[in-house]
């Protein structure tokens, strides 16, 4: 395993308690990301800096651009649609049977324009969360059950494989599923990557144009790159112990953005990590896939 180290720069000094899921919005040439606990959707423009687009009552776990403009959000109480200026478009769409003891966490759009997002238990009980799929017509399907902390998810460039992480499992791993793009269904589950003691916990992930997985390692202080076969290609240290999610952006999709967090850090460790909670950027020798937009 050989790789040149990456140089990380701070592009937004925001101090988010729990930043998550940076996504390039090609509609406006900006990066969107969320501060989960603050319930805020941010938009970073490389030439103009970071602004808050929308705020909701309670946590917001992830967001994605809509094909017609605006955004879809995964919030505490369901899926929400907002316009480009952050104004709400209708009431939240609540998955049937979604328990009150969970909230939405990470999410992303598949190549067919469906928004996938999962929940995490707020009371610590394992196996009470799920992974959901929001179709373009507004219908919701529960895809996976018995989840504890739904987290990283992504698709291979040919859309034949879906990658998924439940960060609440006793042993951190990344699973791979055969993906039926037409039906939006998962099959043939297998373990792709298993992590050992001291590696940290696999958090958010993104798949690049070559089909490699970039995974933020919570409490691991690095971003790891793996081949589609699960081979570790590189481990890139980052200046925080709790990176949360990588994402490619920029006009050529060759900038690698990284959200970070200070949630749960004791005071002395937080003081020792002044960059925790900021939005970071680097320039790896890789490019991202064209971002998918929600069809609804």
5 CB-contact burial (10 Å; exposed 0-12 / middle 13-18 / buried 19+): exposed
Residue 178 has a pLDDT of 98
The C-alpha atoms of residue 91 and residue 107 are separated, in whole angstroms, by: 19
Q: What is the pLDDT of residue 4?
A: 74
Report the top-level CATH class of 9-282: mainly beta
Listed as ranges, residues in the chain with pLDDT below 50 are 2
The catalytic residue positions are: 203
Each residue's pLDDT tens digit, 216-274 = 999 999 999 999 999 999 999 999 999 999 999 999 999 999 999 999 999 888 999 99
| pLDDT for the residue numbered 3 | 65
For Cα atoms 256, 258, 262, give the angle at the middle one, nearest 5 degrees. 165
- What integer pLDDT is reported at residue 55 of this predicted model? 94
Contact 163, 213 (CB under 8 A): yes
The per-residue pLDDT for 123 is 87
């Amino acid at each position: 395993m050989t790789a040149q180290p990456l140089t990380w720069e701070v592009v937004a000094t925001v101090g988010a308690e729990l930043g998550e899921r940076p996504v390039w919005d090609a509609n406006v040439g900006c990066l969107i990301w969320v501060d989960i606990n603050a319930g805020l959707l941010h938009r970073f423009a490389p030439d103009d800096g970071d602004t808050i687009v929308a705020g909701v009552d309670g946590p917001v776990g992830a967001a994605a651009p809509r094909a017609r403009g605006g955004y879809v959000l995964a919030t505490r109480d369901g899926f929400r649609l907002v316009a480009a200026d952050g104004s709400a478009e209708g009431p939240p769409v609540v998955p049937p049977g979604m328990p009150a003891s969970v909230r939405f966490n990470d999410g992303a759009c598949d190549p067919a324009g469906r928004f996938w997002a999962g929940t995490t238990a707020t009371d610590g009980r394992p196996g009470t969360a799920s992974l959901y799929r929001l179709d373009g017509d507004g219908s919701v399907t529960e895809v996976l059950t018995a989840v504890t902390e739904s987290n990283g998810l992504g698709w291979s460039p040919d859309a034949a494989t879906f990658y998924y992480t439940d960060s609440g499992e006793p042993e951190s791993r990344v699973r791979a599923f055969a993906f039926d793009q037409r039906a939006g269904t998962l099959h043939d589950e297998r373990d792709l990557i298993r992590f050992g003691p001291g590696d940290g916990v696999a958090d958010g992930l993104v798949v690049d144009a070559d089909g490699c997985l970039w995974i933020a390692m919570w409490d691991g202080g690095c971003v790891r790159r793996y081949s589609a076969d699960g081979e570790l290609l590189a481990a890139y240290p980052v200046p925080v112990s709790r990176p949360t999610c990588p994402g490619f952006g920029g006009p050529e999709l060759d900038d690698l953005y990284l959200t970070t967090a200070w949630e749960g850090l004791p005071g002395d460790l937080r003081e020792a990590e002044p960059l925790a909670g900021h939005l970071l950027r680097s320039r790896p020798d890789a490019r991202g896939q064209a971002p998918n937009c929600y069809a609804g």
